[in-house]
Amino acid sequence: MFAGRSNGQIRSVKPPRIHLSSYLTGGLKKLYSHLKNDCLSLAVYRKGQFTNDEGHFYISGSCVMASRYRIIDLISEKGQSGVLLKAEDMFREDTIVVIKVLHTTFSQLGIQETLCLQQLRTVDPDNISHTLRLLNIFTFDDHYCMVFEALYPEPINRIFHQISRDKLIPSIRKVAIRLLTILGFLQQQNVIHADLKPDNILLKKKDDLGSLKVIDFGNAIHHIHKEVSLYYEDFEVQTPLYRAPEVIFGIPFGSEIDIWSVGCILAELYAGKPLFLGGDEKSIVKKMTEVLGLLPTHVFQKGKFYSELKSFTGTNTQEN
């Protein structure tokens, strides 16, 4: 284990630079085979070869990471914190994995996500909850790297673009049951995902909604004052289109914000577009009131940003 808690404090040790643990997690049989055939050699790279001046990771020619994972393709480089790579696990034949490589300035996010996923795995060793599995961690050219099981890369909303209208409701029902099951598990563990959106809901198998997984726990927090209160200054949590109204108004929040996000996602799967589409928070709240009516003043007047948004509150007389 590379990270943990002691007396309520997060203590972490950087993943190894010499990747003995990467070999061991590949299995002793495979390790013995490499030793026997004298092929346990470490690839040598020049320091900084895969890092630009801003500390961002980039691919530079062919690459074997941790002397185990052969990079096949770049999946995504759009994320602010890092890139996603498709790789072959050379210790497990025909096994494809996804490696999340964080830019050097975002290593702390990797430690935070590792802590969360290790906690979830400890209490759910059989993965009944269907949360994402972390397989390995290591550092590469000073980048914190996390190895995950490979999933079909299309987000759930794009999958639904291919589903016929007559199968839409039953399909949404399957997704809803799975997402609520996952949220129930996270709530039991006192964890708020805090960034549920279509991009973070993927399938293990393209045509199997039952293989749904929730990914990206980089923003996950425990529902305790010490962690949640870190966001009470600017309330910059959740992706805006799926952000709960209490977060927008600046009200102390809990795990319920994940339920709001799920509701927005399910509506989007049915409509084919985001339910509350807007370019900024005011336009998003305006869309909310067009659908739901005015937000109750007695609840939202407690918010830090109420003065800026009070025109969207009042006595809601909309019928159910």
Residue range 232-274, pLDDT digits in tens = 999 999 999 999 999 999 999 999 999 999 999 999 999 999 9
Range of the domain at 301: 156-314
State whether 162 and 143 are in the same domain: no
Could you give the percent of the chain with pLDDT greater than 90? Answer: 66
Q: What does residue 79 show for φ and ψ, rounded to 5 degrees?
A: -65, 145
Residue range 61-102, pLDDT digits in tens = 778 898 899 999 999 887 788 999 999 998 888 899 999 999
Number of domains in the chain: 2
- What confidence score (pLDDT) does residue 63 get? 86
pLDDT band with cut points at 50, 70 and 90 for residue 5: very low
CATH number of domain containing 76 = 3.30.200.20
- What confidence score (pLDDT) does residue 4 get? 47
Residue 165 domain-assigned (yes or no): yes
Q: What does residue 314 show for φ and ψ, rounded to 5 degrees?
A: 165, -160
Residue range 147-199, pLDDT digits in tens = 999 999 899 999 999 999 999 999 999 999 999 999 999 999 999 999 999 99
| Interatomic CA distance for residues 151 and 97, integer angstroms | 8
State whether 42 and 175 are in the same domain: no
Residue range 209-240, pLDDT digits in tens = 999 999 999 899 999 999 999 999 999 999 99
Q: For the whole model, what pTM was predicted?
A: 0.84
State whether 103 and 42 are in the same domain: yes
What residues act catalytically?
195
- What confidence score (pLDDT) does residue 315 get? 79
Q: Which amino acid is at 296?
A: P
